[in-house]
A and B are shown apart, each in its own frame.
Chain A
């Protein structure tokens, strides 16, 4: 019998400062080949979280929303960071064209709107971060750090 345990950390009622700190903690825990998937509605704070994470990882450039370009590459202090936004992706095959599989596990990969290609995501070792809006300045964040058999 296999028991599948899902470990999820739930952070209730986070302010912008709390989210910032959460991003900094997440940054500290990274070793350089993680895939981080961000889920949440428009305006939930996926890009905001990514900016804080990127700054904590040592990215000096401005981190902008990659909705339009789909992929932006950055150099962090210790490793490369690949920032994806799958909002405009309609077909998973496009992921080959943007070089997603080329950079996968080669640096820290951050994906906004990862749910657009759930068929690809479900096979990957990854960290899932769900951001939910509670009110204008408050968020609920759930972090799914992995699966244990």
Chain B
């Protein structure tokens, strides 16, 4: 079964064809495939999707003329409302146009599917840390389509904290990769930033206080502490709490397998820190499947009746 997946929940436009849930036939992503659109696209996300999505769909069909599309799967939530609307509307029209069923997909479940897609023999249930610009959750994964939220952020997402701290140093958007790179040259133990909700049996997160602590620290110590040390210590504060809480959940729920997903899952320091707890089996997606993409959407859709 070949499924065409469509992803427009944020800034990136993605289309992909995946066979039987695991085999990638083809994919296009606007952050990578600039040449097809001619390079010049609007900055405003929903306008970009409006221009790029039909072109991408046309191109992927053209490149795979001998493939029959059996279903169309589109992300309908969560995300930026106007962006999702373009994707959903176009996809519904297209699916009806080619007379195939349409499946509503959830952006978060699609992220969580990435490590499963790349490791088909993974055990269930397993614990997944979903961590991105907009979301931070610890999830118990019972099957590709069935999950339980065990812990979540009560204010900012981890990725959002990276973006805002990056902004404090004028490092550009997205902040994660830049902060991470600069932090490599810093001493992460220089400053002990607060880890919020750091109690036994508390599975939730809060990063808003950490963000504020970093801001005050910068204001008061601009001249005596280096940017590298501040960013390294900040990054470690985030990584530390993400990892320890996930490990705590895995232990409490007696799950030996842990996966990570979402944009922040690409963070090297995060992956390193998990591996210190070597009584668990880890599945980390490849970097390209950590960010928003249509591949996991098309893959996950296979598992719905």
Direct contact of A and B (CB under 8 A): yes
Chain A interface residues (CB < 8 Å from chain B):
41-43, 47-48, 62, 64-65, 67-71, 90-91, 93-94, 97-99, 136
Task: Using A91-B43, A94-B44, A97-B46 as known contacts, say yes or no to A69 and B156 having CB atoms under 8 A apart.
Answer: no
State which size class the interface on B falls in. Answer: 20 to 34
Closest to A42 in B: B215
| CA–CA, A61 and B45, complex, Å | 27
Q: Tell me the minimal C-beta distance from A120 to chain B in angstroms.
A: 15
> Are B79's CB and A69's CB within 8 A?
yes
Task: Kindly list chain B residues whose C-beta atoms are within 8 Å of the C-beta of A71.
Answer: 81
- Indicate which residue in B43, B78, B215 contacts A69 across the interface (CB closer than 8 Å): B78
Task: Kindly list chain B residues whose C-beta atoms are within 8 Å of the C-beta of A62.
Answer: 154
> Are A65's CB and B208's CB within 8 A?
yes
Q: Tell me the minimal C-beta distance from B191 to chain A in angstroms.
A: 16
Q: Tell me the minimal C-beta distance from A106 to chain B in angstroms.
A: 15
Q: Tell me the minimal C-beta distance from B104 to chain A in angstroms.
A: 18
| CA–CA, A62 and B212, complex, Å | 21
> Are A97's CB and B44's CB within 8 A?
yes
Q: Tell me the minimal C-beta distance from B200 to chain A in angstroms.
A: 22
Q: Tell me the minimal C-beta distance from A44 to chain B in angstroms.
A: 9
Q: What would 14 A/B residue contacts be, using CB atoms closer than 8 Å?
A: A42-B164, A42-B167, A42-B215, A68-B10, A68-B133, A68-B134, A69-B81, A69-B134, A70-B80, A94-B44, A97-B45, A98-B82, A99-B82, A136-B216
Interface on chain A toward B: helix, strand, loop, or mixed SS? loop
B55-102 interface with A by 8 A CB criterion = 78-82
B194-218 interface with A by 8 A CB criterion = 208, 211-212, 215-216
Interface on chain B toward A: helix, strand, loop, or mixed SS? helix
Task: Using A69-B134, A97-B44 as known contacts, say yes or no to A41 and B215 having CB atoms under 8 A apart.
Answer: yes
| Most chain B beta-carbon contacts within 10 A, residue among A62, A91, A98 | A98
| CA–CA, A94 and B81, complex, Å | 12
> Are A65's CB and B47's CB within 8 A?
no
Task: Using A69-B78, A69-B79, A99-B82 as known contacts, say yes or no to A43 and B215 having CB atoms under 8 A apart.
Answer: yes
| Most chain B beta-carbon contacts within 10 A, residue among A68, A69, A70, A99 | A68
| CA–CA, A94 and B78, complex, Å | 19
Task: Kindly list chain A residues whose C-beta atoms are within 8 Å of the C-beta of B45.
Answer: 97
> Are A64's CB and B81's CB within 8 A?
no
| CA–CA, A62 and B153, complex, Å | 10
| CA–CA, A94 and B45, complex, Å | 9
| CA–CA, A136 and B47, complex, Å | 41
Task: Using A42-B215, A94-B44 as known contacts, say yes or no to A65 and B156 having CB atoms under 8 A apart.
Answer: yes
- Indicate which residue in A68, A90, A93, A99 contacts B160 across the interface (CB closer than 8 Å): A68
- Indicate which residue in A43, A67, A69 contacts B212 across the interface (CB closer than 8 Å): A43
Q: Tell me the minimal C-beta distance from A15 to chain B in angstroms.
A: 16
| CA–CA, A102 and B153, complex, Å | 30
| CA–CA, A98 and B154, complex, Å | 24
Task: Kindly list chain A residues whose C-beta atoms are within 8 Å of the C-beta of B10.
Answer: 68
| CA–CA, A90 and B45, complex, Å | 11
